[in-house]
């Protein structure tokens, strides 16, 4: 009996069409590949037969779409396509890994196994940092696992629409926290851009729509400008006898929004909404020369801004990116970024790691990815490395796209992230060199270890056997590797110091007749809220905690250490890391807002609005259970949201506004404008109080150096509609230039 036969004809056709479409994107395959892909497809169709996606479509369309992304957007071959088709069968159906091994061989089975393990890492509630560590461990084993996972994540993000809201937020947070930085590190720029756009669409739908709409409205004007900019260039490039493509590419919604937010300018004032890209089709040995010829043409036609020249053709970025960027002054004096690169460089820029492999070994360049993977491997193998810290380091280092190039005394070049210090350099040479570093000479001059490296510096590290890292070294380094190594060494020292305390605690427990020693220690660590055993014992060693007090709240019961029933001033008991959810006490007045928390009226709980984002009614929000301040309500686009949701997802609760009420909220506005003396205060307050009939909670105004004014007003409003009405009205006032809500 075959399940396939029972699939309705129309659905069967949809599935078959998706499959054929996917097949057409595979660049090269032989007969054997073709047969295996067909077999994987049939297996997936049969295995997922009973499943539907949240949208109602047959589930198997998902693995087919993931296989297509792997082939079309990452450029992976038949092996990855097969693994992608099978990526969910072991997890979701009764097909076993053994079945896959028998049918498709060891390698495919291993990749599918890796993907299944990653998935199960997500299904449980373990903190993101641990998940991230798992992703990286898989990465160092077989990169394809992570590349397929990236495709899987991309398809899930693209089709997130039919998921419940709180799941959307969780997936978006995780993507923002882990997958976007990882995509960047692996050079999958296109993926990173799309991830961030899709995240913004979920966490900040209002601004996303606003920017998208403005982009659409200005599309025609932009296209004709690009046309005007490109025309004279084309004329000159055509004379060159080189095959090339030229295009104007709009920047992503996410990056435009960031500019609007950070620079505080209006959409109309942003000029670089697009970049012009020229891609040359030339043989490998003419690449560099051709790029510079084109550069010279571009700067003949349009005037360049010399400081904006970036040459990643001569020295590629450490994630493999190669390109020549320049900014020129186009028609009507607008700045336009021009990117010049070859087809090969373009493929590396779009597909990063995957494309890099294809060209590996041809050019004899140091393999940037291998080097990076070595670092990752080293950090992972260190038993002292802490997942949370590691993720933090990884993310901060990722935000910096720039690099600094320095030299060893022998003249070997080293590439470090911009911001790296002389001490980072020491750790990049060898861990032991870092550990024992006593002083550093830069260009033959003694410099402090925290000295920030500059391009071209020549660096000599002096070491001594007796030297070892101290706490303040952490402030002098920038790279994740150095930080991890220093922390690990410090932890080892703390561990040694705490050893004596550990012995005393264990002896005490034995005297108390406790048999379950490990469990008892665990209980103590949690009770006193230390993050690790090492920290707990160290606290005892340095008298931060006193051994004679430690056992006071406890007693022995049946060979185990248990808490005494609390009589006075109970300390809140933390179970499984989840704080207690407090019901509202009867005496307190009803809380000021109508929120539904986890589907129940919010009146039932004690909750407050977070100060970091001051939500008002109508904002997209979620509830977060804090460890000591009850429930806090945050906006989903709060700067802290991604961190909270991805690291403490288990503390996040669904919150939504109940139907309208006339309850008020605080919203802060920043108003700037041209100073008109006393009249400004009057006209602002008149508008707000008399015309809009809103209450002002606080009002601060001061003159700026340029002769304008800046006012910060706290308003009491009922909902977002009212707030936007107010913003609109204030913007129209004479002398007012901008009105923004302060996050
Ligand atoms: Mn999947």
In this prediction, residues 540-566 reach a mean pLDDT of 83
What digits encode the pLDDT tens for the residues 593-647? 577 777 777 666 778 888 777 787 778 888 887 777 778 888 888 877 777 777 6
In this prediction, residues 441-459 reach a mean pLDDT of 89
Is the pLDDT assigned to residue 272 strictly greater than 90? no
Alpha-carbon distance of 624 to 651, in angstroms, equals 6
Within a 10 A sphere around the Cβ of 147, how many other Cβ atoms? 28
Is the pLDDT assigned to residue 471 strictly greater than 90? no
Higher pLDDT, 350 or 478: 478
User: How many helices (H) does the chain have, and how many strands (E)?
Assistant: 29, 23
In this prediction, residues 22-34 reach a mean pLDDT of 91
| pLDDT of amino acid 67 | 97
Pull the structure tokens for residue 411. Answer: 């003249």
Q: Out of 222-236, 412-426, 529-543, give the one with best mean pLDDT.
A: 222-236
User: What percentage of residues in the chain have a pLDDT greater than 70?
Assistant: 84
Distance 167 CA to ligand 1 centre (A): 15
When the pLDDT of each residue in the chain is averaged and rounded to a whole number, the result is: 82
Alpha-carbon distance of 631 to 179, in angstroms, equals 29
Is the pLDDT assigned to residue 726 strictly greater than 90? no
CATH number of this structure's domain 2-188: 1.10.3210.10
In this prediction, residues 430-459 reach a mean pLDDT of 90
Place of tokens 């979620």: 622
User: What percentage of residues in the chain have a pLDDT greater than 90?
Assistant: 26
Q: In the chain, what's the furthest Cα-to-Cα distance?
A: 92
In this prediction, residues 199-227 reach a mean pLDDT of 90
Domain boundaries, the chain: 2-188, 211-351, 402-480, 498-563, 595-657, 665-741
What digits encode the pLDDT tens for the residues 36-93? 999 999 999 999 988 888 888 899 999 999 999 999 988 888 999 999 999 999 887 8
- Crossing angle of helices 128-141 and 143-158, rounded to 10°: 130
Distance 472 CA to ligand 1 centre (A): 44
What confidence tier does 366 reach under pLDDT thresholds 50, 70, 90?
A: very low
Whole-prediction pTM: 0.61
Closest CA to 302 of 341, 332, 280: 332
Residue 27 Cα to chain centre, angstroms:
32
Distance 205 CA to ligand 1 centre (A): 25
| pLDDT of amino acid 125 | 53
**Cβ 313 vs Cβ 336: under 8 Å:** no
| pLDDT of amino acid 297 | 94
Class at the top of the CATH hierarchy for domain 211-351: alpha beta
Q: Out of 9-13, 172-176, 288-292, 351-355, give the one with best mean pLDDT.
A: 288-292
Distance 96 CA to ligand 1 centre (A): 17
What digits encode the pLDDT tens for the residues 80-95? 999 999 999 988 788 8
Residues across the chain? 743
| pLDDT of amino acid 603 | 66
Q: What is the DSSP letter of 566?
A: P
Alpha-carbon distance of 691 to 726, in angstroms, equals 10
Kind and range of the H or E run holding 740: strand 736-741
What confidence tier does 575 reach under pLDDT thresholds 50, 70, 90?
A: very low
Residue 498 Cα to chain centre, angstroms:
36
| pLDDT of amino acid 572 | 46
What confidence tier does 245 reach under pLDDT thresholds 50, 70, 90?
A: very high
Of 178-192, 260-274, 480-494, 495-509, the one with minimum mean pLDDT is: 260-274
| pLDDT of amino acid 636 | 84
Distance 588 CA to ligand 1 centre (A): 48
Whether 211-351 and 2-188 are alike in CATH topology: the answer is no
Angle at 512 between CA 572 and CA 504, to 5 degrees: 85
Alpha-carbon distance of 389 to 482, in angstroms, equals 12
Distance 25 CA to ligand 1 centre (A): 20
Higher pLDDT, 504 or 143: 504
Q: What is the distance between the terminal CA atoms of the chain, rounded to a whole angstrom?
A: 60
Is the pLDDT assigned to residue 505 strictly greater than 50? yes
| CATH fold of the domain at 402-480 | Ubiquitin-like (UB roll) (3.10.20)
What confidence tier does 672 reach under pLDDT thresholds 50, 70, 90?
A: confident
**Cβ 284 vs Cβ 229: under 8 Å:** no
| pLDDT of amino acid 243 | 93
Kind and range of the H or E run holding 225: helix 219-238
Which listed residue (33, 42, 92, 516) is catalytic?
92
Distance 85 CA to ligand 1 centre (A): 9
In this prediction, residues 426-441 reach a mean pLDDT of 92
Distance 59 CA to ligand 1 centre (A): 10
Distance 353 CA to ligand 1 centre (A): 21
Distance 487 CA to ligand 1 centre (A): 36
Place of tokens 């406790």: 514
What digits encode the pLDDT tens for the residues 90-132? 887 888 999 999 999 998 998 998 888 776 555 545 566 676 7
Sequential DSSP letters for 394-418: HHHHHT---EEEEE-TT--EEEEET
Phi, psi of 711 (to 5 degrees): -125, 140
Closest CA to 155 of 233, 46, 73: 73
**Cβ 234 vs Cβ 246: under 8 Å:** yes
Higher pLDDT, 591 or 37: 37
Alpha-carbon distance of 402 to 423, in angstroms, equals 18
CATH number of this structure's domain 665-741: 3.30.70.260
Distance 63 CA to ligand 1 centre (A): 6
**Cβ 355 vs Cβ 343: under 8 Å:** no
Is the pLDDT assigned to residue 228 strictly greater than 90? yes
Pull the structure tokens for residue 75. Answer: 């450029």
| pLDDT of amino acid 450 | 92
Phi, psi of 465 (to 5 degrees): -60, -30
Closest CA to 60 of 299, 249, 636, 68: 68
Return the bridge partners of 442, or none. 445, 459
- In the residue annotation, 92 being an active-site residue is answered as yes
| pLDDT of amino acid 278 | 96
Distance 66 CA to ligand 1 centre (A): 8
Of 175-189, 351-365, 407-421, the one with minimum mean pLDDT is: 351-365
Which listed residue (16, 33, 42, 91) is catalytic?
91
Distance 396 CA to ligand 1 centre (A): 29
| pLDDT of amino acid 301 | 94
* Sign of the C-alpha dihedral computed for residues 441, 442, 448 and 449 taken in this order: negative
Alpha-carbon distance of 655 to 663, in angstroms, equals 17
Phi, psi of 382 (to 5 degrees): -75, 115
**Cβ 45 vs Cβ 67: under 8 Å:** no
Residue 144 Cα to chain centre, angstroms:
20
Alpha-carbon distance of 434 to 425, in angstroms, equals 8
Distance 395 CA to ligand 1 centre (A): 25
Distance 119 CA to ligand 1 centre (A): 8
Q: Out of 189-193, 325-329, 580-584, 607-611, give the one with best mean pLDDT.
A: 325-329
Closest CA to 422 of 482, 485, 467: 482
**Cβ 73 vs Cβ 151: under 8 Å:** yes
Distance 375 CA to ligand 1 centre (A): 29
What confidence tier does 588 reach under pLDDT thresholds 50, 70, 90?
A: very low
**Cβ 612 vs Cβ 144: under 8 Å:** no
Distance 36 CA to ligand 1 centre (A): 20
Closest CA to 112 of 19, 104, 150, 178: 104
| pLDDT of amino acid 606 | 73
Place of tokens 């007012």: 736
What digits encode the pLDDT tens for the residues 382-400? 666 666 666 666 666 554 4
Distance 587 CA to ligand 1 centre (A): 50
Return the bridge partners of 445, or none. 442
Distance 155 CA to ligand 1 centre (A): 8
| pLDDT of amino acid 676 | 60
Q: Which residues surround ligand 1, an ion (CB under 5 A)?
A: 88, 152
Kind and range of the H or E run holding 670: strand 665-674
């Amino acid at each position: 009996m075959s399940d396939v036969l029972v699939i309705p004809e129309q659905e069967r056709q949809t599935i078959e069409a998706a499959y054929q479409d996917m097949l057409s994107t595979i660049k090269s395959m032989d007969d054997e590949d073709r047969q295996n892909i067909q077999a994987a497809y049939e297996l997936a169709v049969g295995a997922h037969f009973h499943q539907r996606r949240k949208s109602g479509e047959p589930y198997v369309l998902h693995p087919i779409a993931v296989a297509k992304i792997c082939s079309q957007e990452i450029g992976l071959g038949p092996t990855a396509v097969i693994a992608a088709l099978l990526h969910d069968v072991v997890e979701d159906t009764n097909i076993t890994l053994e079945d896959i091994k028998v049918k498709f061989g060891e390698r495919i089975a291993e990749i599918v196994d890796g993907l299944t393990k990653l998935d199960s890492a997500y299904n449980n509630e373990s903190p993101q940092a641990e998940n991230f560590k798992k992703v990286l461990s898989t990465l160092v084993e077989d990169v394809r696992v992570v590349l397929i996972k990236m495709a899987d994540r991309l398809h899930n993000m693209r089709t997130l629409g039919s998921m419940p809201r709180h799941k959307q937020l969780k997936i978006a947070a995780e993507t923002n926290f882990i997958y976007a930085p990882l995509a960047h590190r692996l050079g999958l720029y296109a993926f990173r851009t799309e991830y961030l756009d899709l995240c913004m669409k979920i966490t900040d739908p209002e601004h996303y729509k606003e920017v998208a709409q403005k982009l659409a409205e200005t599309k025609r004007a932009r296209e004709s400008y690009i046309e005007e900019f490109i025309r004279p260039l084309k004329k000159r490039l055509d004379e060159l006898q080189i095959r090339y493509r030229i295009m104007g590419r709009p920047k992503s919604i996410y990056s435009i929004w960031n500019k609007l937010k950070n620079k505080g300018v209006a959409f109309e004032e942003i000029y670089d909404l697009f970049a012009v890209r020229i891609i040359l089709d030339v043989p490998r040995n003419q690449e560099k020369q051709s790029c510079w010829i084109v550069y010279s043409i571009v700067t003949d036609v349009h005037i360049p801004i010399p400081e904006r020249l970036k040459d990643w053709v001569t020295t590629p970025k450490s994630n493999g990116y190669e390109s020549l960027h320049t900014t020129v002054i186009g028609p009507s004096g607008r700045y336009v970024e021009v990117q010049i690169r070859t087809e090969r460089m373009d493929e590396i820029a779009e597909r990063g790691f995957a494309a890099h492999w294809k060209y590996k070994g041809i050019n004899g360049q140091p393999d940037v990815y291998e080097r990076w993977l070595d670092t990752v491997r080293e950090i992972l193998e260190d038993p002292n490395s802490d997942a949370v810290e590691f993720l933090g380091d990884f993310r901060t280092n990722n935000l910096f796209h720039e690099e600094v190039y320095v030299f060893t005394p022998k003249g070997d070049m080293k590439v470090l992230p911009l911001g790296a210090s002389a001490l980072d350099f020491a750790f990049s040479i060898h861990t032991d060199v870092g550990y024992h570093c006593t002083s550093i000479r830069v260009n033959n001059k003694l410099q402090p270890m925290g000295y920030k490296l500059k391009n071209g510096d020549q660096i000599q590290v002096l070491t001594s056997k007796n030297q070892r890292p101290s706490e303040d070294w952490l402030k002098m380094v920038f790279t994740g590797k150095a930080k991890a190594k220093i922390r690990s060494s410090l932890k080892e020292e703390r561990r040694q110091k705490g050893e004596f305390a550990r012995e005393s605690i264990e002896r005490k427990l034995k005297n108390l007749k406790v048999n379950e020693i490990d469990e008892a220690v665990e209980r103590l660590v949690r009770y006193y809220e230390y993050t690790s055993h090492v920290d707990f014992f160290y606290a005892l060693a340095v008298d931060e905690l006193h051994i004679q007090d430690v056992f006071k709240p406890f007693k022995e019961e049946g060979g185990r250490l248990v808490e005494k029933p609390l009589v006075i001033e109970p300390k809140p008991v933390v179970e499984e890391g989840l704080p207690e959810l407090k019901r509202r006490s009867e005496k307190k007045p009803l809380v000021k807002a109508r929120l539904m928390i986890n589907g129940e009226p919010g009146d039932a709980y004690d909750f407050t609005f977070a100060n970091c984002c001051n939500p008002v009614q109508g904002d997209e929000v979620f509830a977060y259970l804090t460890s000591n301040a009850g429930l806090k309500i945050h906006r989903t686009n709060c700067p802290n949201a991604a961190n909270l949701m991805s690291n403490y997802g288990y503390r996040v609760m669904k919150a939504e506004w109940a139907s309208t009420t006339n309850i008020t909220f605080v919203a802060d506005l920043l108003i700037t404008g041209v100073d008109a003396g006393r009249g400004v205060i009057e006209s602002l307050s008149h508008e707000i109080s008399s015309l809009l009939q809103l209450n002002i909670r606080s009002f601060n105004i001061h003159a700026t150096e340029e002769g304008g004014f800046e006012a910060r007003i706290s308003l009491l409003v009922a909902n977002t509609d009212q707030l936007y009405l107010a913003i609109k009205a204030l913007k129209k006032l004479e002398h007012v230039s901008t009105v923004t809500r302060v996050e």
